[in-house]
Structures are given as structure tokens and as C-alpha cells.
Structure 1
Amino acid sequence: MSRPDALLPRKSPRQRRARLTVASLLEAAAQLIETQGMDGFNTNAVAERAGVSIGSLYQYFPSKDALTLALLEREAGRFEADALAALEAPDGPAALRHLIGASVRQQLERPELARLLDEQEGRPELRAHLDKGRFGQLIDTLLQRPGLPRQMDAALAAADVAALIRGLVDGAGERRETDLADLQRRVEAAVFGYLERAAAAAPGGQGRECESGMRAGPGPA
């Protein structure tokens, strides 16, 4: 979907100095959102905090919404880089634990920023320009790894796991939780419990033990 002009960057930073300016503007925006909320977040305040002129900001971002969308994309890119490291894990359980950890870190390492950006992400005019499908695709890939219970409907299981992770993590953010380890423990319990029970409840499920010690549904070894 093409973006309206108000959300399109005016130009892309190509030289190192320009990239540093854009990075400074995005981090200034993040800090303002954390400390002042969305009411205190505006282009003039961002430019002032970043130490650049408002004209320099408008060279790259034509509106507050364009800046918000760019910040959402920055945070999504950071999460994706962390989450994709799950592919390097030795087995399915370790990979899924890493992915859950990445989700918890994104939400609770900068909790106020994450919480307020979650609200902005819900705006249709911004959400339409964010790619939300890759999270589910990564989970689908991880569920095929050795050591996890085999699911009768892998695509449905991946969608359910994505919903579980998002729901629990976003809920913790809304409650302003701060304990990363406790949230990770609870999300792991929910996700692995779901996978085990769903596999066992499938028609013909035999609850075969995986190497990880989890129970798995039927399927070739």
C-alpha cells in the first residue's frame, strides 16, 4: 500500500552525517514520548531535543505522523533483528524461548515507549503501513524445528502462539510490569503448555516424548 504524502519521508539519508541526524531525531522522539507522553511529542520539541533546526527535521519528516511511523519501523526493525537470532538456536524449544525473550525485551526494556507506541500502532492510518506478517511466519518456521510437539494444523498453531505472545506481553505493558524474568516465565508456560495440550488433544494424538522432555503429537521421528 502506497503511503500518503504526510507519512512519506521527504528524502532518505545517504551520507553518514545525514544518517546520524535521522538517528538523533528518532531517539529524541523516543525520549520525548517516554518522558512527556504523546501530548508532549511534537516536531518542534523533537528538533530541540535532538539539537537540530526544525528545518533540518522537515527535510526528512514532513509531519509528526511521519516521525511516529519511522519510530515504529525503527523499533520493529530492532525487534526483528533480535527475534531472527532464534533461527540460530540448536532446537525448537531453545528457539521459541529466544523469540519469547525478544518479545519480552521489546516490551519491558523501555516500557513506557513500547506501551505508547503500541497505542499508536493501533491507529489504522499507521498500522496499514507496518508489516505485521513476519512475526507469524517466524513462529511457523520455529514450530517445525526438532523438539517441539508436532501440530495437526501448523499454520493455526503458529497463529495461536503469536496471539498468545502478543496478548500476554502487551497486557504486561499495559499494566506497567517491569520484571522481565517473571513475564518470560509466564509466557513460556502459556506457549509450551498450549503446544503440548493442542498436540495431545488432536485426533490420534499419542503424546510422544520429545528430546526436550516435552510431549509431542504423532508424526514421523
Structure 2
Amino acid sequence: MESDQPRGNLPSANKKAEEYLTPRRDPVQQRSRQRAQQIIDVTGELLERVGFDDLNTTLIAKEVGISVGTLYHYFPNKHAILYAMGLRWLDGIEAILGQIDKWPLEELLLEDAVDRLITLNFKVYKKQKAILTLVQAMFSVPELRELDMQHDELIISRMALVFKRLGIHKHITERERLARFYLEMTHSLFLVLVNQTGERAKRTLSDLKLMAYTLLAQHHKELVDLPTRFPWDT
């Protein structure tokens, strides 16, 4: 995650960086689109197996069953493939935010809203292959850092609006501060949860929902009493 410092886009003058991450061509035919998607999917599987440092285009091409030259027709380097993976992940997050916008948030109890928000958001993390390695690359690799910035800005701006609809009628700057806190908390624990299973994962997810509820309840327009039972209790 990034700091609270103002963010902007990558410098427009840095065209070399843009070219470095731009696919060689935009696949038009269905077969080409399927091949590009296959390259992205295989890269995700390899990230889980070998990690970022040992990942290279030769290994990716071999796993896909194509030559390196053919791979370069689609992506110029491994960073471009990871960039495409990151964009797909952001698309998934934006899609669930669109679903949340359609919820009757004003009518939901806070505990029910928190339960649904975190359950839905976590699905995107579980769906993305090698999410931990991808997120680490987005944060640490300069060419991919723009994606990390876009992720944070997207979540903070949209959740600030969600919080208002849930009854947190604070100034926008305060709701954005809460949204950043919510983001840092959920994002870090989602990355823990993807590597947990069974009862351990269930307890961690339950604790995360309780933490989020406690955070939002104290800023609600009305004093929200702690329920005797939460939706996620079993």
C-alpha cells in the first residue's frame, strides 16, 4: 500500500515505460484473445510455483507451448504480462464495487453490510492466482507501481461513498481517512486469508469482520450498540 501523500499518474513524458508495459498488439480475433488470456493464466500459475524472481518469458513460453518469439507478439516482457494480470484484478474489484453500488445500503443494518462487503470483496482475492506475489510486485516493481496506486485510489474513493450511504455522515476527508484505514486492514488480512484454510481461515475472516464493524460503528451517525450475535457467527 502507498502512503497518504497525493498521487498522480506516471509522468506523461515517460513514454518508454508505457511502451515497456504495452502489449505488442491488441488481440482482435477470438483465437488471439484466447492465446493472450492463456499466457496471462499460465503466468499466474507459474508465479505460484516459482515466484517472481525466477519467472521469465522463456519459462512462460515453454509452459504455454509456444516459442518465445510468438510470446513476444503478445507481450514484450514479463512485466507487461503482470501488468495485464493486475489490470484484470482491478477490473474484478471495480465489478464488485459496481455490485455494491446497487445494494440498498441505507436499509441494511451495519453488521449485515459489513458481512456482505467483506465476503464479496474477499472473493476477488481468492479468484486471482498468485495474488500475494502479484501484489508484492505491484508495490515493489517501479513499472507496476501505478497499478498499486490505482487500486488504492479506487477503493478509497468508492468506499468513502459507501460509508456515507451506511450512515457515516462525516466530511469527505474524514470518510477517505476511514476508507484508507479500512483498505489497509482488509487488504493485508485478505492476503493472509488466501493462504489459510478450514477453521483457521473461518476464524480469521470472522475477526476481520468484527474489526471492520467496530471501526465503522464508532463513526456512525447513531450510536450503534454491539449486537448480541453477528451474521458471521456460527
1:87-138 deviation line (CA, Å, top 9, x unaligned): 222225455543322332233455x711111110112331125522221122
Aligned with 1:128: secondary structure?
helix
Deviation of 1:85 after TM superposition, in Å, equals 1.3
Aligned to 1:81: 95
Match among 134, 143, 158 for residue 154 of structure 2:
134
Deviation of 1:158 after TM superposition, in Å, equals 3.6
Aligned to 1:214: none
Match among 77, 92, 116 for residue 98 of structure 1:
116
Amino acid corresponding to residue 50 of structure 1 in structure 2: V
Aligned to 1:182: 203
**Contact 2:160–2:179 (CA under 8 A) maintained in structure 1:** no
Aligned with 2:208: secondary structure?
helix
Distance 1:91 1:177, change over 3 A: same
**Contact 1:32–1:40 (CA under 8 A) maintained in structure 2:** no
Aligned to 1:144: 164
Aligned to 1:46: 60
Return the alpha-carbon distance in structure 2 between the equivalents of residues 80 and 158 of structure 1.
17
Higher relative contact order (CA 8 A, sep 6+): 2
Aligned to 2:229: none
Deviation of 1:180 after TM superposition, in Å, equals 5.1
Match among 65, 75, 79 for residue 79 of structure 2:
65
Return the alpha-carbon distance in structure 2 between the equivalents of residues 26 and 11 of structure 1.
15
Deviation of 1:50 after TM superposition, in Å, equals 1.8
Return the alpha-carbon distance in structure 2 between the equivalents of residues 59 and 87 of structure 1.
39
Deviation of 1:60 after TM superposition, in Å, equals 1.7
Aligned with 2:53: secondary structure?
helix
Return the alpha-carbon distance in structure 2 between the equivalents of residues 162 and 180 of structure 1.
24
Which structure 2 residue ranges, 5 or more long, are not aligned? 1-9, 226-234
Distance 1:129 1:114, change over 3 A: closer
Distance 1:54 1:206, change over 3 A: closer
Which structure 1 residue ranges, 5 or more long, are not aligned? 200-204, 210-221
Worse-matched range after superposition: 88-97 or 23-32: 88-97
Aligned to 2:181: 163
Aligned to 2:231: none
Amino acid corresponding to residue 177 of structure 1 in structure 2: Q
Worse-matched range after superposition: 65-74 or 178-187: 178-187
Distance 1:9 1:95, change over 3 A: farther
Aligned to 1:117: 134
**Contact 2:217–2:224 (CA under 8 A) maintained in structure 1:** no
Aligned to 1:217: none
Return the alpha-carbon distance in structure 2 between the equivalents of residues 165 and 184 of structure 1.
15
Aligned to 2:5: none
Q: CA RMSD in A?
A: 2.9
Distance 1:149 1:187, change over 3 A: farther
Return the alpha-carbon distance in structure 2 between the equivalents of residues 55 and 6 of structure 1.
16
Task: Please say if 1:10 is aligned against 2:29.
Answer: no
